Amino acid sequence: MSIWFRPYTLEELDGLSKDSMVEYLDIRFTEIGPDYIRATMPADKRTWQPYGLLHGGASVTLAETLGSTGANCVVDTTRYYCVGQEINANHLRAVRSGRVTATARPVHIGARSQVWEIRIEDDKGKLACISRLTLAVVEGAPPPVVGSTKP
């Protein structure tokens, strides 16, 4: 049984990233399962720290992107939207190249808050980072999508 409020497409999710950091970092949604969402991000000059390793901040950006997207996909976005309140990340393995794959699953979906776990793996399927994101569920119309407000 699916947790999503309505069916979503990968094209829809990628479209939300237009003209944002998500697009710049080349984060691409790759799969929507019944209770998870998945995306990839390169480990390259856009996401490296000065020593040629995947930057922890880039991993956190990927984690928050997936968790926030997932959280908003389980609510009626005509009445609610979800915003991050707290995120933590444990960086477990260095990644120098390739694409990392992140999978986000809810730990808790409540009326006023959600908690998501995001696991980021390297090209060999080894866990590079694990993150947990807490979000507030806010009543009201969400802010406009960034790409739609550009002058």
Q: How many CA atoms lie within 13 A of 22 on its CB side?
A: 21
- Model pLDDT, residue 144: 76
- Give the DSSP per-residue string, 40-108: EEE-STTTB-TTSSB-HHHHHHHHHHHHHHHHHHTS-TTTEEEEEEEEEEEE-S---SSEEEEEEEEEE
Mean pLDDT value across residues 5-21 = 95
Q: Is 67 within the bounds of a domain?
A: yes
Which pLDDT tens digit goes with each residue over 134-143? 999 999 987 7
State the total domains in the chain.
1
Q: Is 148 within the bounds of a domain?
A: no
Q: Is 32 within the bounds of a domain?
A: yes
Residue 30 has pLDDT above 60, yes or no: yes
Residue 40 has pLDDT above 50, yes or no: yes
Q: Report the 10 Å Cβ neighbour count for 96.
A: 12
* Residues carrying an active site annotation: 64
d(CA 57, CA 66): 14
Full residue range of the structural domain in which residue 92 is found = 10-142
d(CA 37, CA 34): 8
Q: Is 98 within the bounds of a domain?
A: yes
- Model pLDDT, residue 141: 80
Residue 42 has pLDDT above 90, yes or no: yes
Q: Is 2 within the bounds of a domain?
A: no
Residue 116 has pLDDT above 50, yes or no: yes
Q: What is the CATH number of the domain that holds 121?
A: 3.10.129.10
Helix (H) or strand (E) holding 13: helix 10-15
Q: Is 104 within the bounds of a domain?
A: yes
More confident residue, 142 or 73: 73
Q: Is 79 within the bounds of a domain?
A: yes
Q: Is 116 within the bounds of a domain?
A: yes
CA distances from 150 to 15, 19, 23, 24, 86 (A): 15, 9, 15, 16, 28
For the whole model, what pTM was predicted? 0.93
- Model pLDDT, residue 150: 40
Q: Are 109 and 74 in contact (CB under 8 A)?
A: yes
